Amino acid sequence: MDMETSFDPTFLLPDYSKLSDSKFTQMLLTSTSNIMNQDDLIELLNQKDIFIYIRQLTQLINKFNYSKLQQEQWSYYYNLGMTDGIWSGRISKKMADANSMCYTYGRSKTLIKQRLEKYKLQCEKGQQAIHEHMEQAPLILDMETISNLINNLINQDQHQLRLELER
């Protein structure tokens, strides 16, 4: 798994739209803890339209959180470049290892700015999509509770991904 995630950290990013209904329901139920009564959640999830709505919202928030993680990563590279001057040429192997970078080339300032802008734009689009989706929420849903539940699930699932990106 270390080899796989070294090349593509999205390997650790769950895709909630491809999970079976029972697996997704089970994941939501295990993440409820003290956020919501499990019986109330089961009752909501048994309604097909609400189940689909929650699943779609979960996938949107999942993608948004991933974009935020990437934006943080590229912001870190940008700030590192500004403070330690690693824009081009060679950097020490120790510095390259500490920052998961190639020591012979470093990262160009242009590349870092492009990636930072790309993920910033993705975050904005993701936030807009979440907002539009939440406007279509069924009236019987307490969106604050549902959002907390979904965020709790995603934070648990993206924990390993977050660690991998930090590494």
pLDDT digits (tens, 9 = 90+) for 14-67: 788 888 899 988 888 887 767 678 888 888 889 999 999 999 999 999 999 999
Q: Which of 166, 150, 167 is nearest to 58 (CA)?
A: 150
Q: Does residue 100 fall inside a structural domain? A: yes
- The answer for residues whose C-beta is within 8 angstroms of residue 36's C-beta and 6 or more apart is 145, 149
Residue 126 lies in a domain: yes
Asked if residue 6 is part of any domain, the answer here is: no
Q: Which residue has the higher pLDDT, 109 or 88?
A: 109
In this prediction, residue 7 has a pLDDT band, given cuts at 50, 70 and 90, of very low
The tally of domains found in the chain comes to 1
Q: Answer yes or no: is pLDDT of 88 > 60.
A: no
pTM score over 0.85: no
State the DSSP H helix or E strand holding residue 95, giving kind and residue range, or none if neither: helix 93-98
DSSP-derived secondary structure for 34-60: TSS-HHHHHHHHTSHHHHHHHHHHHHH
Structure tokens belonging to residue 57: 């919202």
Q: What is the signed CA dihedral for 151, 24, 35, 59, rounded to 10 degrees?
A: 20
Q: Is 150 within 8 Å of 58 (Cβ atoms)?
A: yes
Of 16, 2, 4, the closest CA to residue 157 belongs to: 16
Please report whether residue 1 resides in a domain: no
> For residue range 104-149, what is the model confidence (pLDDT) as tens digits?
445 677 878 888 899 999 999 999 999 999 999 888 888 888 898 9
Q: What is the domain range of residue 99? A: 18-166
| Residue 115 forms part of a structural domain | yes
Whole-number pLDDT of residue 5? 40
Considering the chain, what is the average pLDDT of its residues?
Answer: 80
Residue 7 lies in a domain: no
Residue 54 covered by a domain? yes
Chain center to CA of 33:
21
Task: State the pLDDT at residue 6.
Answer: 46
Residues 6+ apart with CB under 8 A from 160: 12
In a domain, 125, yes or no: yes
Residue among 161, 163, 166, 140 nearest 11 (CA): 161
